[in-house]
Amino acid sequence: MNSFTVSTITLPVVIGQGSSIAVQIHFNPHGQRGRFEDRLELVFRKPDNSLFVITRPIKATVGNNDLVTLAPVAPYTRPTQVRQRGTRLQVIEGGEETAPTVRYLRKLEAYNIPEGIRQTLSTGALEQQLEAFRDRLMPGTLGEQSYSQYWSSLVHAEHLQAEIDLRNFDMDDVGLIKQGRLYELEVPGLAEKRPSVLKGDRINIHPHDREEGVWFKGIVHEVLQLAVRISFHPSFPHNARALYDVEFLLNPVPFRRMLQAVKTPSPRIDIILPAAENLNLGDALGDEVDPIHNIYNHLVNTNEEQLQAVKRVTSLPSGSSPFIIFGPPGTGKTMTIVECIAQLLDKPSSRILACAPSNSATDLIAERLINTRDLTPAELFRLNAIWRPRIELPEDLVEYSLHHNTRGFEVPALDKLRSFRVVVCTCSSAALAYARGINPGHFTHIFIDEAGQASEPEVMIPILNLSSRDTNVILSGDPKQLGPVIRSPVARRLGMSTSYLERLMSLPVYDEVTMRGISVAKLLKNFRSHPSILSFPNEQFYGNELVPRAPANITDVFLNWNRLGTQNFPVVFEAIAGEDMRESTSPSFFNPHEASLVKEYVQGLLPLMATTRQIGIVTPYRAQVRKIRQLLREINITDIDIGSVEIFQGQAIRSNQDFLSFDVKHTLGFVANRRRLNVAITRAQALLIIIGDPMVLGLDRLWRRFLYYIYHSGGWKGSPFPWNPDSNPDDEVTSSIAQQEVVQLLQRAETDGADGTDDDVAGVGNE
């Protein structure tokens, strides 16, 4: 169904020299909106009967006033590169320290990135760097003797890439405002963590009126919405009218902690390289195992897979090989490990370290443990990173932490830290317990939740630093969802993007079928999503083993909504060919057509919802996040979560009615990443709405299958289905033009962080 038609002209038509003819083009959008494109071809025959063709593009845009509201504020121009920095003859330190003075028994070594790694990763194209790095710096295989070298090299590569990425935020010719003893520096993008700056971070500043080689290293004391306040050495020459050059300095501590961990010898070979000959997990569960009489969470008692996992973990002998709880979306893996910990605490000798990669996941473990076992602040301690903003800690965990009004979070004295039955912290912050003096083996059990989201060196911070031959390690997660965010393309290609959980589950001794109930437990009942939402990921990722068990009073609330494609199918795909734009110096893309549709769907949901906090919006681009927020503010909605897929992993977007919007035009991060698609779909409980361009999504075979599923189920809306609906989606062959599109998508993903990397670690501090 073509939207452009040309008025019929009686042919042939002779156009004499100096004369003209009008060709009328008619446009009919057929009730659709978005960007419409076609091509007009005019064929001419010359007197010698030879032909030539003139072609002209034809474009039309159909939309509403939102397109005007979201129009680029200024034409896009590439950001100006900061001036090349000269040699630093002197860096004057001396700002006031913000962190408390703590007596650590184990000092963290100041590892430097080896010069050989810097040289290798600064020469040649990516493939050349990859080959040189592999040949010169990596061992041939990952083994007991090569483990430290293997991971140390990749951690250094990741550290170097983080330094390089941070240089993008350096500034020239900016002012400083004196605020008492501090100096205020405006940082554009700070609210979006571009860059991420935390209290205690360092920033280098060079005054223009001083000699080129002299810099001052300041310490961040306060982080505001759009500015930071810094202290300097008393000799800092401030002038209210002076301009300064600014360098943000990467916090090396997370990388140093990972290096410390992978350089620590493993207490047992089965922790780092489990195999049939060294696997030690005791006997598999049999009928003779005593039942658990006192289940703290009654829901676990009604779930056979969860109950078996709890029995297996609590029956493992000391010094067992790592045990894995494989928890697909919505199956309650965090609930399961909380019950495991609660049961283990019935044994007076148990000491538990519970970790996760992120603060949000770690806070959730602590809150659920406290509620499940009624643990007191004398029994459970939430160990926080010293530089964590106090406002981020949930109020109900304040009394379970140690915080000083001016110095930030603190680590208790060693004797006090040893007294807790449970310590809960991020994987990275587990290094604080080790540094304070907690010995390997103090904890009888180490739990890592969401283990698939952390790199192996990060997970090894608690495991290798704090386990002994008698410690049991339990991992929970889903290797089919998003893995760790790795910035370095070399480190990513050489294995750092494969989590410890995924690596173990690729081994025969952790096969989810043959070793189920022995080394791995798989949870099967999904308590989150409507069966129609769960059906596709269940088939594509989980072998149709997942059983929908979410309560109907949650999942069925939208089955008769008038904006569904068909009743009783709560999945909508709104097909639209929008237009990607950029503005000013921001490299990030936004799509006004899709943002406008997001607003309309939100408005349509409002009468049916108790609160807009029940809505979540997923989009890969930062600029699209800003534009959607701008439109929602116009209708007085400010409390909807909007962000990348990574932000929502592990959540059901707060409540029971979920809306996922995808700005996926030209976004390789979604189109070519199976795990990101899996996570995005499975966040939704009662309603899933996808907005995008089917021609772009269809470049990927998995997306094309999903679109066929939605179409045949009656959920298709917007522009017509672009393929033969009776054909097999896997038979569609991507054309050479589509292959060129993929190249363009990759380029965009690299510049805008569409693969998620731009959202997580691009900052001075991390965690």
Cis peptide before 188 (omega within 30 of 0): no
Same domain, 409 and 510: yes
Number of structural domains in the chain = 3
At residue 87, the pLDDT reads 65
At residue 191, the pLDDT reads 75
Q: Check: CB of residue 300 under 8 Å from CB of residue 306.
A: yes
Same domain, 450 and 577: no
Q: Rounded mean pLDDT of the chain?
A: 87
| pLDDT tens digits for range 50-60 | 999 999 999 99
**Whole domain around residue 49: which residue ranges?**
4-62
Residue at a domain's end among 17, 37, 62: 62
Q: Is 417 a domain residue?
A: yes
CA distances from 462 to 155, 344, 427, 539, 644 (A): 16, 19, 6, 35, 28
Residue at a domain's end among 476, 508, 524: 524
At residue 570, the pLDDT reads 97
Using the predicted structure, report yes or no on whether residue 23 has a pLDDT greater than 60.
Answer: yes
Same domain, 503 and 554: no
Count Cβ neighbours within 10 Å for each residue of 413-426 and write b for 16 or more, e otherwise: ebeebbebbbbbbb
Q: Check: CB of residue 308 under 8 Å from CB of residue 504.
A: no
Same domain, 271 and 311: yes
Using the predicted structure, report yes or no on whether residue 527 has a pLDDT greater than 70.
Answer: yes
The dihedral over CA atoms of 702, 704, 709, 713, expressed in degrees to the nearest 10, equals 160
At residue 288, the pLDDT reads 46
Lowest mean pLDDT among 132-136, 544-548, 748-752: 748-752
- 754: pLDDT confidence band, cut at 50, 70 and 90? very low
The first and second tokens of residue 611, run together, are 């609160």
Mean pLDDT of 312-339: 96
| pLDDT tens digits for range 95-154 | 777 766 677 889 998 889 999 999 999 999 999 999 999 999 999 899 999 999 999 999
The dihedral over CA atoms of 580, 586, 587, 590, expressed in degrees to the nearest 10, equals -20
Using the predicted structure, report yes or no on whether residue 764 has a pLDDT greater than 50.
Answer: no
Lowest mean pLDDT among 175-179, 351-355, 579-583, 629-633: 579-583
Q: Cα separation of 415 and 430, whole Å?
A: 16
Q: Is 124 a domain residue?
A: no
Q: Is 179 a domain residue?
A: no
Q: Is 222 a domain residue?
A: no
Q: Is 320 a domain residue?
A: yes
What percent of the chain lies above the pLDDT cut of 90? 63
Q: Is 691 a domain residue?
A: yes
- 743: pLDDT confidence band, cut at 50, 70 and 90? low
Same domain, 484 and 536: no
Mean pLDDT of 302-323: 95
Question: Which CATH number goes with the domain that contains 671?
Answer: 3.40.50.300
Q: Is 740 a domain residue?
A: yes
At residue 297, the pLDDT reads 94
The first and second tokens of residue 385, run together, are 């990173």
Q: Using DSSP bridges, classify how beta strands 641-643 and 616-618 pair: parallel, antiparallel or unpaired.
A: parallel
| pLDDT tens digits for range 81-95 | 666 666 667 888 887
At residue 688, the pLDDT reads 96
Using the predicted structure, report yes or no on whether residue 212 has a pLDDT greater than 80.
Answer: no
Using the predicted structure, report yes or no on whether residue 744 has a pLDDT greater than 60.
Answer: no
Q: Is 143 a domain residue?
A: no
At residue 100, the pLDDT reads 66
Same domain, 648 and 622: yes
Q: What is the DSSP letter of 394?
A: -
